[in-house]
Amino acid sequence: MMNEFFMNLQEPVFRPPREHDALIVQATSGCSRNSCLFCAMYKAKKFRAKKPAEIEAEIVSVPAPFRGGVSKIFLADGNAFCLESSDLLEIAAIFKKYFVNNRFISVYANPLDITAKSPEELKALRAAGYKNLYIGLESGSDRVLHTMKKAGSFKDSERAMNMAHEAGFVLSVTILLGIGGKKYRGEHAAESARLIDACAPRFVSTLTTTLYEGAPLYNMVKTGEFEMPENCDIIEEHYNFIEAINADRIIYRSNHVSNFIGLEGVLSRDKKNLLHTLSRFKEVNSGNNFIKLKTGGNYEI
């Protein structure tokens, strides 16, 4: 309600499920890269970064009684962490001035946004109140990333997450099941698991690639340029991904609406049970096609 009446948000706006109770402040509109073939989230937006003074002018319009109830802030849009560190620090100072009960700030961050900052800048941002970085890794396979026109590589993601860890950030990352297509599904599962092992983020979530009108991948599938895996292939890919992860104390979730089956547990403690559930699911649904084709609507990552 607070966002609807007092904040100047350019729709559509997306936020992670864990930020459902956070105040959303839009520091950027859209995504600074916006090149990924599978994504339709920001294709209708032209990227724009707001100046800290503009953000403060919006916050001033929030009545004082509401400000005291803000304990979490999510900084939108797609990769607001791409802003210059000086601007991010100024924004954090503004939040501290008006939201005295706020505990921390969360934000979407591309791996290349992280590596563009120095270790000293990252530590300063963490000290200023930025805590949770939500990172869309999508895949650990360089070939899959290249095919999907997502800038960066396995090494870039590994370096970014290690830098963020050293600065004290909490990392929540996503992997897209099915994004390797039929051609690279084995490599996608193996390399994605290897990337998770290399960095051991606190939270790992899997989503299933969904075709949205407006995303270039939608037309690529229609023309046959990209071949989506069948449902049984994606379930097997999901199984192989979890099976290959050896890191400990990772909170794992596969409870997004795009997924065929909801899973949740701690790796590697619950690995055996998760794999058993996936095996049973595959046996029961071996004859069905779960690939969903969506033509609109909002979704969260």
- 102: domain CATH number is 3.80.30.20
How far is Cα 236 from Cα 286, in angstroms, rounded to an integer? 11
Q: Which residue did the predictor score with more confidence, 44 or 164? A: 164
| Residue 27 per-residue DSSP state | S
Residue 292: what pLDDT? 40
Burial group, residue 178, by CB count within 10 angstroms (0-12, 13-18, 19+) = buried
Asked whether residue 149 is domain-assigned, the answer is yes
Asked whether residue 123 is domain-assigned, the answer is yes
Asked whether residue 217 is domain-assigned, the answer is yes
Residue 117: what pLDDT? 98
How far is Cα 253 from Cα 107, in angstroms, rounded to an integer? 19
Q: What is the pLDDT of residues 85-140, one digit of tens each?
A: 999 999 999 999 999 999 999 999 999 999 999 999 999 999 999 999 999 999 99
Residue 235: what pLDDT? 93
Asked whether residue 297 is domain-assigned, the answer is no
Q: What is the number of domains present in the chain?
A: 1
Phi and psi at residue 26, in whole multiples of 5°? -90, 100
Asked whether residue 299 is domain-assigned, the answer is no
Average pLDDT over residues 172-178: 97
Q: Is the pLDDT of residue 64 over 70?
A: yes
Phi and psi at residue 145, in whole multiples of 5°? -60, -45
Asked whether residue 197 is domain-assigned, the answer is yes
Q: What is the pLDDT of residues 30-39, one digit of tens each?
A: 888 888 999 8
Q: What is the pLDDT of residues 68-95, one digit of tens each?
A: 999 999 999 889 999 999 999 999 999 9
Average pLDDT over residues 51-74: 92
How far is Cα 51 from Cα 70, in angstroms, rounded to an integer? 22
How far is Cα 97 from Cα 79, in angstroms, rounded to an integer? 24
Asked whether residue 296 is domain-assigned, the answer is no
Asked whether residue 298 is domain-assigned, the answer is no
Phi and psi at residue 108, in whole multiples of 5°? -75, 140
Residue 283: what pLDDT? 84
90: domain range?
2-291
Q: What is the pLDDT of residues 193-248, one digit of tens each?
A: 999 999 999 999 999 999 988 899 999 999 999 999 998 899 999 999 999 999 99
Contact present, 67 and 98 (Cβ < 8 Å): yes
Model confidence band, residue 5 (pLDDT cutoffs 50, 70, 90): low
Q: Which residue did the predictor score with more confidence, 287 or 173? A: 173
181: region left, alpha or beta (phi > 0 left; psi from -120 to 50 alpha)? left
